[in-house]
Amino acid sequence: MKVEHQNLAEAFSEFKTDKNINRPMMVNILEEVLSNLLKRKFNVEDDEAIKKSFNITINVDKGDFEIWHNREVVADGEVNDSLSQISLSDAQKIDADYEVGEDVTEKINIEDFGRREVLSIRQNLISRIMDLEKNHVYEKYKDQIGNIVSGEVYQAWKKEILILDDERNELYLPKSEQIPSDFFRKGDTVRGVVARVEMKNGSPLVIISRTHPSFLERLFEFEVPEILDGLITIKKVVRIPGEKAKVAVESYDERIDPVGACVGMKGSRIHGIVRELKNENIDVINYTSNPQLYIQRALSPAKITSISINEEKKKADVFIPSDQVSLAIGKGGANIKLAIQLTGYDIDVYRDNMQEEEDVDLDEFTDEIDEWIIDELKKVGCDTAKSVLRLSKEELVRRTDLEEETIDDVVKILREEFED
């Protein structure tokens, strides 16, 4: 095999196993490249004429190819189209037995095209296959946005980390998408979600993130089979990466405790997630469409006295015992910030002016008030006597399913407790 043919064949062969490109596509590329070579060689613009006069045989397994020129034998002096016809005398130089009207199939040697032309075509072939590979990476990861991928750290710079996946495709983890306490060395395995994919200077740029809420959501899907099976739904995830996160979950099956399932026995399920997120504190709460109860749960672990909500302004005034205010706000304001993001309400926290030590839990009144009534009051954020007394009768009627007469009875019982 001549060097020119070998170089061109190798340009095709080097991609057939290393690159994730399907065989039909590679065959089409090589056919197109070789067809262009033939068009220039024979000064022909018509693609159909090339297809009719030439057979291009490609062996993908060997990374090799052959070109055969098909022409009809005509009498000497009657050649009107040198592409599809050959004179009898020229045909008999190939084989003395040829006669007029027969077909001649002659193998084309790549080296006959000229070394410069072959090298140009080789570069064209490499460029086309590389473009196809880049497009493959772009399309692959564009469909993976929001999903977890993993790879090995190839190089760590100050502003970003270069990661190679199992196909040696390049992924980038910018500093802004890293958890503050993240630290990776070359060879470490890193997980993250595909945040965005774009073409930059003709090459795919795949950005992954470890700070996006969807990363935490996907981790829960991996650890909690009930989520993957659809028995538990993640309603919303909010995060301050590396510090704190809140996850609202819901189950449509009354037999399943969504919070318990997500946490696992003795925290077995959530511990792996916490470790992956560098000890990020994760609160898992039951989702509810009741805004008072939802806000109360979102401000956990603080104990709330009462909540007043303005639905028009999406604003909530929350009254909390003095010793619970710091819990509601959290370190650096993290708890209340996440509660606002989770519920969608602008939450203002106020210290309860009443003396908390004089207050009484509603559960202490079960001898005088039916439990279902107490449960109804708790649903609107009232779990102590004074949290009920702080609200007007009209407010209690509007926010609960209780009758005025029932509310009058409850208020009377609670007031008597403090009068005594």
Is pTM beyond 0.75? Reply is no
Mean pLDDT over 226-243 rounds to: 94
Q: In Å, how far are 64, 111, 121, 288 from 115, measured between CA atoms? A: 18, 7, 10, 74
Out of 3-12, 61-70, 145-154, 237-246, which region has the weakest mean confidence (pLDDT)?
Answer: 3-12
pLDDT top residue among 34 and 122: 34
Out of 57-61, 246-250, 302-306, 363-367, which region has the weakest mean confidence (pLDDT)?
Answer: 57-61
C-beta atoms surrounding 406 within 10 Å: 17
Specify the DSSP class assigned to residue 173: E
CATH topology of domain 3-139: N Utilization Substance Protein A; Chain:P; domain 4 (3.30.1480)
Specify the DSSP class assigned to residue 219: H
Among the listed residues 80, 84, 83, 54, the one whose alpha carbon sits nearest the alpha carbon of residue 67: 54
The pLDDT of residue 16 is above 70: no
Q: What span, in angstroms and rounded, lies between the C-alpha atoms of 292 and 399?
A: 9
User: Which residue type occupies 96?
Assistant: A
Mean pLDDT over 316-337 rounds to: 89
Collapse the DSSP code of 96 into the 3-class scheme (helix H, G, I; strand E, B; otherwise coil) and give the result: coil
Q: What span, in angstroms and rounded, lies between the C-alpha atoms of 216 and 239?
A: 9
Tokens read off for 301: 């672990």
Q: What span, in angstroms and rounded, lies between the C-alpha atoms of 335 and 371?
A: 31
Q: What pLDDT, on a 0 to 100 scale, did the predictor assign at position 318?
A: 92
Condensed to tens digits (0 to 9), the pLDDT of residues 356-382 reads: 456 788 888 888 999 999 988 888 878
Which segment, 243-247, 266-270, 317-321, is predicted with the most confidence on average?
Answer: 243-247
Collapse the DSSP code of 212 into the 3-class scheme (helix H, G, I; strand E, B; otherwise coil) and give the result: coil
pLDDT confidence tier of residue 33, bands split at 50, 70 and 90: confident
The pLDDT of residue 3 is above 70: no
| Cβ partners under 8 Å of residue 112, min gap 6 | none
Tokens read off for 319: 């009254």
pLDDT confidence tier of residue 306, bands split at 50, 70 and 90: confident
Please name the helix (run of DSSP H) or strand (run of DSSP E) that holds residue 92, with its range, or none: helix 88-94
CATH topology of domain 149-209: OB fold (Dihydrolipoamide Acetyltransferase, E2P) (2.40.50)
Q: What pLDDT, on a 0 to 100 scale, did the predictor assign at position 57?
A: 85
Q: Where are the domains of the chain?
A: 3-139, 149-209, 288-353, 361-419
Q: What pLDDT, on a 0 to 100 scale, did the predictor assign at position 227?
A: 94
Domain 288-353 belongs in CATH node 3.30.300.20: yes
Tokens read off for 338: 């996440």
User: Which residue type occupies 211?
Assistant: T
Q: What pLDDT, on a 0 to 100 scale, did the predictor assign at position 173?
A: 97
Q: What pLDDT, on a 0 to 100 scale, did the predictor assign at position 12?
A: 58
- CA neighbours closer than 13 Å in the CB half-sphere of residue 192: 32
Which segment, 185-194, 297-306, 322-331, is predicted with the most confidence on average?
Answer: 185-194
CB 375 within 8 A of CB 368: no
CB 44 within 8 A of CB 83: yes
Q: What pLDDT, on a 0 to 100 scale, did the predictor assign at position 114?
A: 72
Place of tokens 């609160």: 283
Q: What pLDDT, on a 0 to 100 scale, did the predictor assign at position 391?
A: 83
CB 210 within 8 A of CB 174: no
The pLDDT of residue 51 is above 50: yes
pLDDT top residue among 181 and 356: 181
Q: What pLDDT, on a 0 to 100 scale, did the predictor assign at position 4?
A: 46
Condensed to tens digits (0 to 9), the pLDDT of residues 143-165 reads: 999 999 999 999 999 999 999 99
Q: What pLDDT, on a 0 to 100 scale, did the predictor assign at position 183?
A: 93
pLDDT top residue among 347 and 7: 347
Q: In Å, how far are 13, 20, 34, 47, 265 from 24, measured between CA atoms? A: 14, 12, 15, 19, 51
The pLDDT of residue 62 is above 80: no
The pLDDT of residue 23 is above 90: no
pLDDT top residue among 117 and 1: 117
Q: Phi/psi class of residue 220: alpha, beta or left (left: φ > 0; alpha: ψ in -120 to 50)? A: alpha
Out of 45-54, 200-209, 356-365, which region has the weakest mean confidence (pLDDT)?
Answer: 356-365
Q: What pLDDT, on a 0 to 100 scale, did the predictor assign at position 25?
A: 75
User: Which residue type occupies 270?
Assistant: I
User: Which residue type occupies 284?
Assistant: V
Which segment, 62-66, 88-92, 106-110, 338-342, is predicted with the most confidence on average?
Answer: 338-342
Q: What pLDDT, on a 0 to 100 scale, did the predictor assign at position 390?
A: 81
CB 287 within 8 A of CB 281: no
The pLDDT of residue 211 is above 80: yes
Tokens read off for 21: 């490109």
The pLDDT of residue 388 is above 70: yes
| Cβ partners under 8 Å of residue 2, min gap 6 | 109, 110, 111
Among the listed residues 231, 339, 330, the one whose alpha carbon sits nearest the alpha carbon of residue 293: 339
Q: What pLDDT, on a 0 to 100 scale, did the predictor assign at position 181?
A: 93
Mean pLDDT over 183-189 rounds to: 94
Tokens read off for 306: 């009462």
Q: What pLDDT, on a 0 to 100 scale, did the predictor assign at position 19?
A: 53
Query: What is the maximum alpha-carbon separation in the chain?
Result: 130
pLDDT confidence tier of residue 250, bands split at 50, 70 and 90: very high
Q: What span, in angstroms and rounded, lies between the C-alpha atoms of 245 and 279?
A: 11
Q: Mean pLDDT over all residues of the chain?
A: 87
The pLDDT of residue 1 is above 70: no
